[in-house]
């Protein structure tokens, strides 16, 4: 076989980068191959003319001596393929759908004839029978995209999510709205899916989220790869990826204007599209512009106002309790809307006599049911796609230049204002908890490290708030010569947030792409393209960060800016009639800034200065610091201790001047003065989590599509990738100062690797302060005394700022696929391959705007990380699937059945419960096992008369096993095992005591004296621990797998009229975890019922006298979790099943004229939940059109958070129990782990005009 020069050239280029890589975009064109045979003799016909024609493109080739033909590069569209040869009847086959980046085999048999007689055959454009397509990919054309618009509740009317939900393998929970809607493919998590836009990868490197809105404006084809993409696909995903292919101009041209209005919920949409081409298609264009304004209502047209009383908690609680209790379960009085309440047993302000509760639990109230949900979205989109043909001088071929531009902007607001919250919110404000702008202190932007503490602070106005107002700050700065901070509000007045102010979120994206395709004859091409992709997400609110913390749902300010650029070369060469070689090389670089602003912490008490000489710190007073030991004025002290610090309002600490040595406040012979110490700034006024990791990713792939016969098509490929991450430079004097302090001041248990915190125990997740001391104490929290050490390398414990400036991982991904054409109606398909997902930026480096980065990294030591660099691993998935594709003979009905299997490794676990960290890091620890079956049944064509439709069904069976975190001796299960162990320690078998003293320090009282506290768990059985090698529901506490999903889109068209119902049906996810039920800890109580003269067991605890539990580990230190009283055991992961959910929408369309068409859409015609686990809580609150899930009840009283004989004992509690808190699980409006509420019924009318 002769080797093509192009092959040699591209192979050399590829080999040069085999070990450098990022993922190359999937192609934006597809290919057709086939053989023309004599129908009578079964012999090949050479020299036949084969034409592929569609509005987007017309191409012609001739068959070779073996009768074979190839169209290497066709724009995605529905084509008519025709073949002609003198002496044979002409044959045309309509309805051939060409998919981007996919190859199909089209067998053609011509009948001999003495005269030319044309024959026409037809295929359904929906047919899944595609000989030669080895990858498991589902394609959605514009007709199906339009038909599926009402699927899932109306949140996908003008984006691709409803069309994705119509396909097998993909699970899209219904009733979602906005950008970045949740999609799961084949058991993969939502961030394990790759997204491309016309071949441009749009997953942002920080967290792998898609960076655009998935608008359907300009969408020619939507591809859902459920088994993973081709080797040259640049989308980063394990279970698959989603690619949008953009329209090109057609001949003849067109212009379309369409508008849609909705009622009773507001909806306005206007799209204008135009496309055209010269007759010879040397120039084509497509331009689209669109805008949408959409409001949302939930449950009904009144946002579920009637539900607040019967289901006051829902997914978003708004409770009001006193500050004296430190846990949520209690027997509450109901808050009135003026923020008043009455509990007969609540103690008065003076010392209460016996007969009252120890503490006042306060009252419970709820905001409106829709609070916290998106209220409205404004979306604007622009798309432009140009193609310019460059004719060849030596042959009739041409090259192609593509210019693509896309811009998208989405603004979302939420029901989060005072007005949205309802009457209770106004009552809270009238009671004095005003909703003010959360202004803060900071320093001027040019402030230097170790500047004098006399540097004047300035006001930090909440970003985006009005500037023509005073600042909500204390007017007096005690360390300043001028006692008044400029612009502060006088007389303790407050600048208030308007009552209609809502949380907001901006999502913007832009893509610019230039592509040149050099066609080398009809059998080879080289394609070179470059692109720039910008995306931004900005979430912000002032609600809830001022005096009123009950408002708001999003971040103070959270922004991700990503600038990505890429360059890629692809090539394909038909080496022979049996081999099509293709490959690519690619480079992608991204500059990302994630800024999570925490300046709301800059109150007057924020530490800003130290008494230091820049190397060590000294005490500003004589005395003892909490956990820090005793210190003498002017002697060395820990920099992290309060005795060595100053604040915004007291920048000189206990001194009255910036330089106490020269001011005579300290003797010159003190260690501080001899060392040259003074009060200087060690905090520069800005607090934020910052990530600027810059990935530089190169990749290469090589594929060979081999056709050993007309029946077989085999594709072998390999992909190589090299991911290099340039890290931010944290090596500066400010951060080094605090790392040095951490190494001599923090203390760590060298056996458990746990930092020592104060208090310990009991402790609260909300009060988690590291112990700082020059002499580390002995840790007795585990029952065995261990000498703790400083993280300076002693006993292998280290916290350092020394690490490499970059991090690199490299890997290969082999893949194999094949199809076997049994006959023109039946195809067997198989694929297997390894797929990888790059580590995301947030996993790799942790950095802060404030200099004291070291303190925020202390909690990572138990996980084996000793610096800001975390050597995260790529995730892998080995995917296997097999399909039977069959078209029923003589019909337009076809079916595709695909069993599949996935084995994922290095799966991430997000440690959302770590109290020692201010972030929620993810660590590689899981192994995922998934098997299932996809089914697709299609009929007809949505644009043709008669019945047509598509039925998609997916069965998913998944489980996950968890090992230890890298470099650690613990894993995700250990915290839950510790929860069970903490309970077992209170049982008789576990060594618990029958009673404890009322000192609230865990001291047993074996005699159970009259003042002791009875242990309610003493006689209960110890509970079995979780198996560390067991398989559990994926996601543990946050399961996401729906085992059975079904979507049905039907269409009946009769001439100008069509009716199109769309139905989705999902089985609910699992739920349940050992940390579901909170219990009262008798070791942490100070009064029993006898001492308060309350009815019930005299030794029973007055629960209002109890504090945080004496637990130092588990999912939440300070909490005690107990077996579920309603089941008798600890709940296990995935023990219960959420209800099924059925959603129905419909469309009616009518073509008034050939140019004017109207459409009526109805969303949420029916939204109904049913079934699921039959449990006490589901019997009390059965699933219906509102209740679609259950979530662990934060306020459940069953863990002994009541006095007397029961929560309804009014003599002991003052008021009866709120019925909603009688169940261990509370009803949630939507599947509790998708956070989507049922949308209200709505009608939409659209009118489309073609010009």
- What's the average model confidence in pLDDT over 1226-1249? 85
* Distance between CA atoms of residues 1231 and 1237, nearest Å: 8
- What's the average model confidence in pLDDT over 1123-1138? 96
Residue 252 CB burial class (10 angstroms; 0-12, 13-18, ≥19): exposed
606-620, pLDDT tens digit by residue? 999 999 999 999 999
Give the confidence band of 476 by pLDDT, cuts at 50, 70, 90: low
pLDDT at 817 over 80: yes
What pLDDT does 3 receive?
42
Residue 1220 CB burial class (10 angstroms; 0-12, 13-18, ≥19): buried
Q: Is 547 left (phi over 0), alpha (psi -120 to 50) or beta?
A: alpha
- What's the average model confidence in pLDDT over 762-782? 76
- What's the average model confidence in pLDDT over 1054-1083? 96
715-739, pLDDT tens digit by residue? 999 999 999 999 999 999 999 999 9
pLDDT at 25 over 70: no
Which among 880, 886, 905 is positioned nearest to 824, based on CA atoms? 886
1094-1110, pLDDT tens digit by residue? 999 999 999 999 988 98
Give the confidence band of 1165 by pLDDT, cuts at 50, 70, 90: very high
The residues pairing with 926 across neighbouring beta strands, listed in sequence order, are 907, 962
* Distance between CA atoms of residues 887 and 34, nearest Å: 19
SS3 834: strand
Give the confidence band of 628 by pLDDT, cuts at 50, 70, 90: low
Contact 1222, 1077 (CB under 8 A): no
Which among 99, 97, 106 is positioned nearest to 54, based on CA atoms? 97
498-542, pLDDT tens digit by residue? 999 999 999 999 999 999 999 988 888 999 999 999 999 999 999
Both structure tokens of 523 = 């059998």
With a CB cutoff of 8 Å and minimum separation 6, the contacts of 877 are: 188, 192, 228, 238, 239, 834, 835, 836, 837, 902, 903, 904, 905, 928
Q: C-alpha angle with apex 894: 888 to 896, nearest 5 degrees?
A: 120
Which among 431, 403, 408, 429 is positioned nearest to 418, based on CA atoms? 429
Give the confidence band of 13 by pLDDT, cuts at 50, 70, 90: very low
pLDDT at 14 over 60: no
Residue 289 CB burial class (10 angstroms; 0-12, 13-18, ≥19): middle
What pLDDT does 914 receive?
60
pLDDT at 383 over 90: yes
pLDDT at 15 over 50: no
Which among 323, 322, 324, 306 is positioned nearest to 314, based on CA atoms? 306
* Distance between CA atoms of residues 344 and 1087, nearest Å: 19
Give the confidence band of 185 by pLDDT, cuts at 50, 70, 90: very high
**How many residues does this entry show for the chain?**
1251
Contact 683, 658 (CB under 8 A): no
Pairing of the two strands 678-681 and 769-770: unpaired
Cα dist from 95 to 59, 713, 821, 952, 1001, whole Å: 16, 22, 19, 21, 78
What pLDDT does 23 receive?
33
689-711, pLDDT tens digit by residue? 999 999 999 999 999 999 999 89
With a CB cutoff of 8 Å and minimum separation 6, the contacts of 843 are: 870, 872, 908, 921, 922
Burial code (b: 16+ CB inside 10 Å, e: under 16) for 63-82 equals bbeebbbbbbbbbbbbbbbb
Which among 262, 268, 297, 263 is positioned nearest to 373, based on CA atoms? 297
- What's the average model confidence in pLDDT over 1204-1231? 91
What pLDDT does 918 receive?
63
* Distance between CA atoms of residues 616 and 690, nearest Å: 27
Both structure tokens of 958 = 């998944």
SS3 15: helix
- How many CA atoms lie less than 13 Å away from 578 in the CB half-sphere? 6
What pLDDT does 863 receive?
86
Residue 352 CB burial class (10 angstroms; 0-12, 13-18, ≥19): middle
Q: How far is CA 425 from the centre of its chain?
A: 30
Mean pLDDT score of the chain: 89
* Distance between CA atoms of residues 1078 and 1081, nearest Å: 9
Whole-angstrom Cα Rg for the chain: 34
The residue ranges of every structural domain in the chain are 5-124
1087: DSSP letter: -
40-73, pLDDT tens digit by residue? 788 888 888 898 888 878 888 888 888 888 888 8
What pLDDT does 1231 receive?
67
1029-1055, pLDDT tens digit by residue? 999 999 998 899 999 999 999 999 999
More confident residue, 21 or 1165: 1165
- Which helix H or strand E contains 745, and what residues bound it? helix 733-745
pLDDT at 4 over 60: no
* Distance between CA atoms of residues 303 and 375, nearest Å: 10
Task: Name the class of domain 5-124.
Answer: mainly beta
* Distance between CA atoms of residues 618 and 604, nearest Å: 22
88-122, pLDDT tens digit by residue? 887 878 778 888 778 888 888 888 875 444 555 55
987: DSSP letter: S
- How many CA atoms lie less than 13 Å away from 434 in the CB half-sphere? 12
* Distance between CA atoms of residues 398 and 74, nearest Å: 13
What pLDDT does 1212 receive?
95
DSSP secondary structure string, 196-261? EETTEE-B-TTT--B-S--B-TTEEEEEEESS---TT-----SSEEEEEEEP---SS-EEEEEEEE
Cα dist from 68 to 57, 523, 542, whole Å: 21, 12, 67
* Distance between CA atoms of residues 840 and 182, nearest Å: 18
What pLDDT does 395 receive?
81
What pLDDT does 122 receive?
59
Q: What end-to-end distance do the CA atoms of the chain give, in Å?
A: 53
The residues pairing with 624 across neighbouring beta strands, listed in sequence order, are 630
What pLDDT does 661 receive?
95
* Distance between CA atoms of residues 504 and 555, nearest Å: 10
What pLDDT does 865 receive?
92
Give the confidence band of 325 by pLDDT, cuts at 50, 70, 90: low
Both structure tokens of 45 = 């016909």
Contact 1110, 1083 (CB under 8 A): yes
pLDDT at 319 over 70: no
199-212, pLDDT tens digit by residue? 899 999 999 989 88
Both structure tokens of 976 = 């839950």
Cα dist from 903 to 186, 226, 876, 924, whole Å: 11, 14, 8, 15
């Amino acid at each position: 076989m002769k080797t093509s020069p192009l092959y040699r050239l591209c192979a050399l280029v590829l080999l040069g980068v085999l070990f450098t890589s990022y993922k190359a975009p999937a192609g934006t064109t597809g290919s057709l191959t086939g053989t023309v045979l004599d129908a009578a003799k079964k012999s090949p016909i050479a020299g036949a003319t084969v034409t592929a024609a569609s509005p987007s493109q017309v191409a012609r080739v001739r068959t070779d001596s073996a009768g074979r033909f190839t169209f290497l590069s066709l724009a995605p569209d529905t084509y008519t393929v025709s073949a002609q040869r003198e002496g044979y009847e002409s044959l045309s086959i309509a309805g051939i759908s060409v998919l981007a980046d996919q190859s199909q085999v089209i067998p053609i048999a011509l009948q001999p004839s003495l005269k030319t007689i044309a024959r026409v055959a037809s295929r359904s454009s929906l047919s899944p029978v595609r000989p030669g397509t080895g990858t498991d990919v589902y394609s959605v054309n514009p007709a199906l995209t339009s038909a599926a618009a009402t699927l899932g509740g109306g949140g996908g009317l003008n984006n691709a999510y409803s069309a994705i939900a119509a396909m097998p393998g993909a699970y899209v929970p219904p009733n979602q709205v906005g950008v970045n809607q949740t999609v799961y493919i084949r058991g993969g998590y939502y961030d394990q899916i790759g997204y491309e836009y016309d071949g441009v990868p749009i997953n942002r490197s920080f967290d792998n989220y898609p960076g655009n809105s998935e608008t359907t404006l300009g969408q020619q084809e939507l591809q859902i790869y459920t088994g993973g993409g081709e080797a040259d696909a640049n989308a980063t995903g394990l279970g698959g990826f989603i690619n949008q292919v953009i329209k090109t101009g057609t001949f003849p041209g067109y212009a379309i204007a369409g508008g849609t209005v909705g009622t009773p919920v507001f909806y306005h949409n206007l799209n204008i599209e135009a496309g055209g081409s010269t007759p010879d298609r040397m120039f084509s264009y497509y331009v689209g512009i669109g805008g949408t304004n959409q409001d949302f209502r939930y449950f009904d047209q009144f946002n579920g106002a009637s539900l607040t009383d019967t289901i006051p908690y829902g997914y978003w609680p708004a409770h009001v309790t006193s500050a004296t209790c430190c846990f949520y379960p209690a027997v509450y009085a109901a808050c009135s809307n003026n923020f008043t309440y009455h509990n007969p047993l609540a103690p008065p302000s003076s010392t209460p006599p016996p007969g009252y509760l120890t503490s006042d639990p306060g009252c419970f109230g709820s905001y409106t049911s829709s609070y916290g949900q998106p209220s409205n979205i404004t979306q604007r989109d622009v798309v432009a796609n140009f193609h310019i043909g460059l004719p060849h001088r030596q042959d009739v071929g041409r090259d192609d230049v593509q210019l693509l531009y896309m811009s998208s902007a989405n603004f979302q607001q939420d029901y989060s204002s005072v007005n949205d919250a309802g009457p209770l919110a106004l009552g809270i404000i009238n009671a004095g908890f005003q909703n003010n702008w959360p202004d803060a202190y900071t320093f001027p932007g040019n402030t230097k490290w170790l500047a004098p503490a006399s540097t004047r602070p300035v006001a930090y106005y909440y970003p985006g708030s009005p500037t023509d107002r005073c600042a909500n700050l204390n007017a007096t700065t005690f360390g300043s010569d001028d006692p008044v901070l400029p612009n502060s509000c006088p007389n303790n007045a407050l600048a208030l947030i308007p009552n209609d102010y809502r949380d907001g979120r901006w999502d913007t994206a832009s893509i610019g792409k230039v592509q040149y395709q050099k066609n080398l004859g009809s059998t080879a091409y080289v394609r070179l393209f470059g692109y720039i992709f910008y995306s931004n997400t900005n979430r912000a609110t002032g609600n809830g960060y001022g005096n009123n913390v009950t408002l708001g749902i999003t971040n103070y300010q959270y922004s991700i800016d990503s600038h990505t650029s890429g360059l890629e070369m692809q090539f394909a060469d038909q080496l022979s009639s049996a081999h099509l070689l293709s490959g690519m090389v690619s480079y992608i670089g991204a500059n990302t800034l994630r800024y999570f602003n925490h300046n709301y912490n800059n109150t007057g008490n924020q530490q800003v200065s130290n008494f230091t000489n820049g190397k060590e710190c000294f005490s500003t007073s004589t005395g003892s610091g909490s956990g820090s030991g005793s210190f003498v004025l002017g002697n060395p002290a820990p920099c992290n201790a309060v005795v060595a610090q100053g604040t915004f309002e007291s920048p000189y600490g206990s001194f009255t001047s910036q330089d106490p040595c020269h001011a005579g406040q300290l003797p010159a012979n003190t260690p501080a003065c001899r060392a040259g110490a003074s009060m200087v700034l060690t905090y520069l006024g800005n607090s934020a989590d910052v990530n600027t990791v810059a990935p530089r990713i190169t990749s290469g792939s090589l594929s060979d599509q081999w056709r050993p016969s007309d029946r077989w098509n085999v594709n072998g490929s390999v992909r190589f990738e090299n991911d290099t991450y340039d890290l931010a430079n944290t090596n500066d004097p400010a951060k080094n100062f605090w790392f040095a302090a951490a190494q001599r001041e923090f203390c760590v248990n060298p056996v458990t690797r746990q930092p020592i915190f104060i208090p310990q125990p009991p402790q609260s997740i909300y009060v988690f302060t590291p112990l700082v001391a020059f002499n580390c104490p002995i840790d007795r929290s585990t029952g065995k005394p261990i000498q703790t050490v400083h993280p300076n390398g002693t006993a292998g414990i280290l916290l350092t700022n020394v690490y490499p400036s970059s991090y690199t991982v490299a890997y290969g991904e082999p893949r194999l696929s094949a199809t076997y054409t049994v006959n023109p109606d039946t195809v067997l398909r198989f694929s297997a391959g390894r797929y990888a997902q790059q580590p995301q930026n947030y996993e790799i480096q942790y950095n802060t705007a404030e200099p004291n980065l070291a303190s925020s990294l202390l909690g990572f030591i138990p996980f084996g990380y000793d610096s800001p660099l975390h050597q995260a691993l790529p995730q892998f998935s080995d995917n296997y699937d097999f399909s039977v594709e069959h078209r029923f003979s003589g019909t337009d009905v076809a079916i595709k059945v695909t069993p599949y299997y996935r084995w994922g490794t290095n799966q991430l676990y997000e440690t959302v419960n770590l109290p020692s960290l201010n972030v929620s890091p993810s660590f590689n620890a899981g192994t995922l096992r998934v098997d299932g079956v996809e089914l697709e049944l299609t009929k007809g064509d949505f644009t043709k008369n008669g019945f047509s439709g598509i039925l998609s069904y997916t069965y998913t069976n998944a489980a996950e096993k968890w090992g230890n975190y890298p470099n650690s001796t613990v894993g995700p299960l250990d915290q839950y095992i510790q929860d069970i162990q903490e309970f077992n320690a209170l049982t008789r078998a576990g060594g618990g005591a029958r009673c404890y003293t009322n000192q609230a320090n865990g001291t047993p009282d074996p005699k159970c004296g009259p003042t002791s506290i009875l242990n309610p768990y003493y006689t209960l059985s110890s509970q079995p621990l979780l198996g560390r090698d067991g398989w559990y529901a994926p996601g543990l506490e946050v399961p996401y797998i729906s085992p059975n999903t079904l979507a049905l889109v039907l269409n009946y068209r009769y001439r100008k009229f069509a009716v199109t119902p769309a139905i989705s049906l999902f089985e609910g996810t699992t739920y349940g975890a050992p940390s579901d039920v909170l219990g009262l800890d008798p070791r942490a109580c100070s009064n029993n019922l006898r001492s308060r003269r309350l009815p019930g067991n005299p030794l029973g605890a007055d629960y209002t006298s109890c504090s945080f539990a004496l637990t130092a580990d588990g999912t939440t230190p300070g909490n005690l979790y107990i077996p579920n009283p309603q089941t008798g055991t600890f709940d296990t992961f995935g023990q219960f099943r959420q209800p099924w959910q059925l959603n129905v929408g419909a469309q009616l369309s009518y073509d008034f004229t050939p140019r004017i068409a109207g459409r009526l859409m109805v969303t949420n015609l029916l939204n109904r939940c049913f079934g699921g686990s039959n449990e006490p809580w589901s019997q009390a609150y059965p699933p219906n059109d509102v209740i679609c899930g259950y979530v662990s009840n934060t306020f459940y009283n069953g863990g002994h958070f009541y006095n007397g004989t029961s929560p309804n004992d009014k003599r002991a509690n003052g008021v009866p129990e709120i019925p909603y808190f009688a169940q261990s699980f509370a009803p949630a409006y939507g599947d509790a782990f998708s956070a989507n509420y049922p949308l209200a019924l709505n009608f939409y009318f659209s009118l489309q005009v073609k010009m």
